[in-house]
Amino acid sequence: MAREKWASKLGFMLAAMGSAVGLGNIWRFSYVAGENGGGAFLILYLGFVFLIGIPVLLAEFSIGRQGQSDVVGSYKELAPNKPWYLAGFMGIASSFLILGFYSVVAGWSLYYFWNYINGSFWTIPDAGYGATFEGLISNTTTPLFWHGLFMVLTILVVLTGIKKGIEKASKVFMPTLAVLLVLLAIYSVTLEGAGEGLRFLFQPNWAKIDSGVILAALGQAFFSLSLGMGAMMTYGSYLPKSESLPSATVGIGIMDTVFAIVAGIVIFPAVYAFDISASSGPPLVFITLPGIFAQMPFGSIVGLLFFFLLSIAALSSAISILEVPVAYFMRRFKWSRRFSSIFIGVIMYFLGVVVSLGFGVWSGVTPIGDLGILDSMDYVASNILLPLGGLAIALFVGWQWSVKEALSASDMTNLGVRYVWLGIIKFLAPIFIVLIFLQSIGIIG
């Protein structure tokens, strides 16, 4: 059977943007920025997005489109008998780790959406949103239902190929989410105490930077851009060779970043206005946002709309994560798309069960240091495996390919910035990633 293809370049763009924009921009960006001191983290994150992220994203797309196969197959196709494909397996491992927790958090979002439908979040619950949220996630069964529902939706989209439907839908929903976020940002900066939140987000306090903050900023850049795992490689592989990559890449990178910054402008003023700790971790947006909605005019409708759109954004990201192993297993074991999606989705569901219980009965389980189950899986995937995947991508395009091959595969041959890009891919990105790793394991100060 011939491999599937995007119907148009727009289809590819929408799918790739749908992959990039998700919980990472709103949920993860806010809490990671909050835990890592705000302003200085933001600068590092922006630096990594533009200096490393976007150039490596172009490299990842190029490998996929050139290899015309899944994350393992593309490397094997382009460099048979070389070990590059091991990076592909790393990507598959990351996809399990990431979707395992992503789906749990998306389940929280769905549950919030439901609470805005049935009215229970229209007014502040007696216990407050914070305690109500803690009650939800520490519960054994409720979050598992919503996580399950989200996983079922993800599987359905991946197995039926109604991806086209999702692409069309994201054409409407993504701009709506953008407009809603901007409106919320405008409302949020008028909150009492907003100034302090904005200072937290935008005023760099360089004293807060240490190796942990640097690694967190790198991990966030990779996570948010869907970079280093093979999602973008797989999406690139459904693109015919005739489409041009650089402008699409830059567009995706900038849009993803703007979403994160605007989300930050929504969240941090509210964090200070409602006296929530910026370092609350994963619950941060779930306790902050409903507080904003409760105060603002038409807040119940805004909340309903917001959590609907957030869930859709999460869905369009989740399908790109599931697509990575599904594409691999389909090719490697000749599984049908249907069987592949269900089988892998179910395994990921059970991983998510572990994550979810990590907020309740297993809250004492800390696989890495004092990190709980979600944080540990996220740390390994986002801060280690994704940058390592990015390192492999950069080294492959920079060193395995000739200059000519690299430029032609990326459609950079005629662009003035081609050598800047190539310099980044060959030297700067790999060196930065390695240095950040060495620093974070304490080998260099």
Positions touching ligand PFF (CB under 6 A) are: 19-20, 22-25, 98, 223-224, 226, 229, 231, 317, 320-321
**158: its two tokens:** 């991946």
Which residue's CB comes closest to ligand PFF? 24
Window of 73-81, 191-199, 249-257, 266-274 that interacts with Na ion by CB under 5 A:
249-257
Least distance (Å) from Na ion to the CB of residue 256?
A: 5
Least distance (Å) from Na ion to the CB of residue 29?
A: 8
- 432 contacts which partner out of ligand PFF, Na ion, none, CB within 5 to 8 A by kind? none
Q: Give the number of other Cβ atoms within 10 Å of residue 333's Cβ.
A: 10
Which of 233, 198, 255 is CA-nearest to residue 14? 255
- Amino acid 406 reads A
- 19 contacts which partner out of Na ion, ligand PFF, none, CB within 5 to 8 A by kind? ligand PFF
Least distance (Å) from ligand PFF to the CB of residue 309?
A: 13
Sequential DSSP letters for 128-157: HHHHHHHHHHHSSSHHHHHHHHHHHHHHHH
Least distance (Å) from ligand PFF to the CB of residue 431?
A: 23
**CB closer to ligand PFF, 385 vs 422:** 385
- Amino acid 180 reads L
**CB closer to ligand PFF, 288 vs 317:** 317
- 23 contacts which partner out of ligand PFF, Na ion, none, CB within 5 to 8 A by kind? ligand PFF
Question: For residue 39, how far is the Cα from the chain centroid?
Answer: 21
Alpha-carbon gap, residue 360 to 106, rounded angstroms: 17
- 69 contacts which partner out of Na ion, ligand PFF, none, CB within 5 to 8 A by kind? none
Least distance (Å) from ligand PFF to the CB of residue 145?
A: 22
Any contact of residue 256 with Na ion (CB under 5 A)?
yes
Alpha-carbon gap, residue 403 to 29, rounded angstroms: 35
Q: What's 4's DSSP letter? A: P
Strand partners, 371: 368
Which of 324, 258, 194 is CA-nearest to residue 29? 258
**CB closer to Na ion, 191 vs 381:** 381
Least distance (Å) from Na ion to the CB of residue 226?
A: 7
**CB closer to ligand PFF, 197 vs 228:** 228
Any contact of residue 62 with Na ion (CB under 5 A)?
no
Least distance (Å) from ligand PFF to the CB of residue 76?
A: 20
Q: Give the number of other Cβ atoms within 10 Å of residue 331's Cβ.
A: 15
**CB closer to ligand PFF, 66 vs 224:** 224
Strand partners, 368: 371
Q: Are 205 and 38 in contact (CB under 8 A)?
A: yes
Least distance (Å) from ligand PFF to the CB of residue 426?
A: 24
Which residue's entry shows tokens 């809490």?
Answer: 31
Residues 5-44 that bind Na ion (CB under 5 A): 20, 24-25
Among 224, 237, 257, 320, binds Na ion (CB under 5 A): 224
- Which CA distances in Å does 114 have to 110, 134, 228, 385? 6, 17, 34, 34
**CB closer to Na ion, 63 vs 314:** 314
**CB closer to Na ion, 6 vs 102:** 102
Window of 50-58, 173-181, 219-227, 402-410 that interacts with Na ion by CB under 5 A:
219-227
Which of 285, 287, 270, 260 is CA-nearest to residue 41? 260
Least distance (Å) from ligand PFF to the CB of residue 231?
A: 3
Q: Is 134 exposed, middle or buried (0-12, 13-18, 19+ CB in 10 A)?
A: middle
**CB closer to Na ion, 56 vs 409:** 56
- 98 contacts which partner out of Na ion, ligand PFF, none, CB within 5 to 8 A by kind? ligand PFF
- 71 contacts which partner out of ligand PFF, Na ion, none, CB within 5 to 8 A by kind? none
Q: Cα 253–256–259 angle (5° rounding)?
A: 145
Any contact of residue 378 with Na ion (CB under 5 A)?
no
Q: Are 25 and 174 in contact (CB under 8 A)?
A: no
Least distance (Å) from Na ion to the CB of residue 181?
A: 13
Binding residues (CB under 5 A) for Na ion: these are 20, 24-25, 224, 256
